[in-house]
């Protein structure tokens, strides 16, 4: 069942190029978007995205996309807060629920709260027969295949892929993206499986770095823009399976508190493709280095060349279009957690205290 891999998590990480290609084939046809009918964003004035855990980080990345590409205001909430806060919802807005299992109790309760209050309840689930998929007006499967590892990997990148396609559809519906610009984004997305295959080749280097990470008590992840949720995802993954305390922060928040934690024993993992925000993140990284923090810079060739000097370690990913970067950078985040857990000898697929699907509050 593990197809020769030691753990389901390793298998599921490795499967990502294939399942992402499946999802792209399902939702793109003849070079055009083939999303379900009814997914028409023309008169939607606001999107509320709700999820738990890793799925909530997918929502946070999607917020950047919906707002920047489609100009559609978004809010993101974790389901356990949303359901009890009972927020006012407009009947011109849509609510979007993201869940691998489709059975997460808080997410399902949040969906039931939103039903009847918003114009449409949409879900993005991996299990198409799940409660959340069945109870939504429109359900988009992510086509990741069965995910067994408690730490979510391929479901996250498939969620992101489907959310990216939805943001492009929203942009097209709202007149923010003309035909050629949309076609260019779709052509970029077609390169994603190949880029992911490249990223997977970093496994050996990452296993090496992980031996030292396994000695740490605390690890910080930093990112800006859509890399901020990726920093939180990297930290969550590491906590879940290696039991090392880790936090993901927005790079710009560093000097508002967490910088007090930095010393030579705290590895700081900086996720920073060489994009428009790169210089800002690098200056935060230099603040860490000035306090003898051990920086692992994850970037592309241009980024590592520009800022890799003085870092404890660097990892070089292929250069990627901005839309794809958060999906691509999930791979080193997952591999770092996996190999750190291996170095610590923990139970990767069944970490202590955790369940694959949280069906009770
Ligand atoms: O099945 P769901 O996507 O609704 O699950 C949500 C979270 O419980 C889940 O993502 C959890 O955080 C994972 N263990 C993360 O690896």
Q: At what angle do helices 192-200 and 179-190 cross, to 10 degrees?
A: 30
CB 62, CB 160: distance < 8 Å: yes
- If phi > 0 it is left, if psi is from -120 to 50 it is alpha, else beta; for residue 225 that is left
**Ligand 1 mean position, distance from CA 45 (Å):** 28
Distance 99 CA to ligand 1 centre (A): 7
Whether the CB-CB separation of 336 and 269 falls below 8 Å is answered with yes
Please name the residue whose Cα sits nearest to atom 8 of ligand 1: 53
| Cα 331 from Cα 316, distance rounded (Å) | 12
Residue 357's pLDDT is what? Answer: 86
Residue 129 in tokens: 């027969």
Higher pLDDT, 270 or 350: 270
Q: How far apart are CA 261 and CA 183, in angstroms?
A: 46
- DSSP letters along 61-110, please? HHHHHHHHTT---EEEEEHHHHHHH-----TTEEEEEEESSS--HHHHHH
Residue with CA at minimum distance from ligand 1 atom 12: 53
Mean pLDDT score, 219-242: 97
Encoded tokens for 19: 């399942």
First to last CA, the chain: 31
Q: Which atom of ligand 1 is nearest to the CA of 100?
A: 3
Mean pLDDT computed over 343-357: 90
> What is the mean predicted confidence (pLDDT) over 280-300?
95
- pLDDT band of 73, cuts 50, 70, 90: very high
Active site residue 356: yes
| H-only helix segments in 118-202 | 131-134, 154-173, 179-190, 192-200
Mean pLDDT of 219-246: 97
Ligand 1 mutation target, pool 8, 82, 358, most atoms within 8 A of CB: 358
* CA 60–ligand 1 middle distance (angstroms): 14
Task: Report the pLDDT value the prediction gives residue 25, as an integer from 0 to 100.
Answer: 98
Residue 232: the pLDDT is 98
Share of the chain above pLDDT 70, in %: 100
How far, in Å, CA of 69 to CA of 57, rounded?
A: 18
Distance 102 CA to ligand 1 centre (A): 10
Q: Which of 30, 72, 271 is nearest to 163 (CA)?
A: 72
Nearest CA residue ID for atom 9, ligand 1: 53
Judge contact between 20 and 158, C-beta under 8 A: yes
Report phi then psi at 100, rounded to 5.
Answer: -65, -60
Q: Where does ligand 1 bind, in terms of residues with CB under 6 Å?
A: 52-55, 99-101, 104, 107, 150-152, 236, 240, 354, 357-358
- Residue range 321-338, pLDDT digits in tens: 999 999 999 999 999 999
- Calpha distance 231→258 (Å, rounded): 14
Q: What is the pLDDT of residues 154-192, one digit of tens each?
A: 999 999 999 999 999 999 999 999 999 999 999 999 999
pLDDT at 360: 83
Give the per-residue pLDDT at 346: 94
Q: How many CB atoms lie within 10 A of CB 95?
A: 26
Number of residues written out for the chain: 361
Query: Which atom of ligand 1 approaches the CA of 125 most closely?
Result: 3
**What's the pLDDT band for 151 if we cut at 50, 70, 90?**
very high
CA–CA distance, 168 with 33 (Å, rounded to integer): 9
The residue nearest atom 4 of ligand 1, judged by CA position, is 99
pLDDT of residue 195: 98
Q: Which residues, in sequence order, are CB contacts of 198 under 8 Å at separation 6+?
A: 317, 318
Model confidence over 190-207: pLDDT tens digits? 999 999 999 999 999 999
Give the ligand 1 atom nearest the CA of 51: 4
Region of residue 310 (phi > 0: left; psi between -120 and 50: alpha; otherwise: beta): left
Name the band, by pLDDT with cuts 50, 70 and 90, for residue 352.
confident
Residue 359 has pLDDT above 90, yes or no: no
How far does the centroid of ligand 1 lie from the alpha carbon of residue 53, in Å?
A: 5
Q: Is the pLDDT of residue 51 over 90?
A: yes
Distance 291 CA to ligand 1 centre (A): 35
Q: What is the mean pLDDT of residues 21-49?
A: 97
- Res. 351: pLDDT tops 90: no
Cα–Cα dist 50/106, whole Å: 10
CA pair distance 294, 310, nearest whole angstrom = 9
CA of 187 to the centre of ligand 1 (A): 30
Query: For residues 129 and 103, is the Cβ–Cβ distance under 8 A?
Result: no
| Ligand 1 pocket mutation, candidates 125, 152, 350, 359, criterion most atoms within 8 A of CB | 152
pLDDT at 317 over 90: yes
Ligand 1 mutation target, pool 9, 50, 53, most atoms within 8 A of CB: 53
pLDDT of residue 239: 97
The closest residue, in CA terms, to atom 14 on ligand 1 is 151
Task: Check: CB of residue 283 under 8 Å from CB of residue 272.
Answer: no
pLDDT for the residue 92:
97
């Amino acid at each position: 069942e593990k197809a020769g891999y030691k753990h389901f998590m390793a298998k599921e990480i490795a499967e990502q190029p294939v399942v992402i290609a499946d999802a792209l084939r399902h939702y793109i046809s003849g070079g055009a978007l083939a999303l379900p009918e009814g997914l028409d964003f023309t008169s939607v004035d606001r999107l509320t995205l709700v999820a738990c855990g890793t799925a909530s980080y997918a929502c946070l990345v999607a917020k950047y996309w919906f707002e920047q590409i489609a100009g559609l205001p978004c809010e993101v909430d974790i389901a356990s807060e949303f359901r009890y806060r009972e927020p006012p919802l407009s009947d011109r807005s849509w609510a979007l629920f993201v869940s691998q299992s489709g059975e997460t109790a808080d997410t399902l309760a949040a969906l039931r709260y939103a039903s009847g209050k918003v114009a449409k309840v949409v879900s993005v689930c991996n299990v198409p027969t799940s409660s959340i998929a069945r109870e939504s007006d429109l359900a988009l499967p992510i086509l990741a295949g069965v995910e067994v590892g408690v730490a979510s990997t391929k479901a996250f990148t498939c969620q992101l892929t489907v959310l990216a396609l939805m943001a492009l559809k929203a942009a097209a519906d709202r007149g923010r993206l003309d035909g050629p610009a949309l076609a260019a984004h779709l052509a970029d997305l077609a390169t994603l499986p190949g880029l992911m295959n490249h990223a997977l080749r970093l496994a050996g280097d990452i296993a090496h770095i992980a031996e030292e990470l396994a000695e740490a008590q605390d690890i910080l992840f930093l990112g800006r823009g859509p890399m901020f949720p990726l920093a939180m995802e990297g930290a969550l993954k590491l906590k879940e399976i290696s039991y090392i305390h880790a936090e993901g922060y927005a790079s710009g928040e560093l000097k508002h508190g967490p910088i007090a934690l930095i010393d030579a024993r705290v590895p700081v993992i900086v996720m920073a493709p060489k994009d428009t925000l790169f210089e800002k993140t690098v200056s935060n990284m230099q603040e860490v280095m000035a306090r003898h923090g051990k920086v692992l810079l994850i970037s592309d060739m241009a980024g590592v060349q520009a800022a890799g000097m003085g870092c404890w370690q660097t990892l070089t990913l292929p250069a990627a279009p901005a839309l794809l970067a958060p999906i691509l950078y999930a791979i080193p985040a997952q591999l770092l957690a996996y190999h750190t857990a291996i170095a610590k000898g923990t139970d990767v697929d069944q970490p202590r205290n955790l369940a694959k699907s949280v069906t009770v509050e």
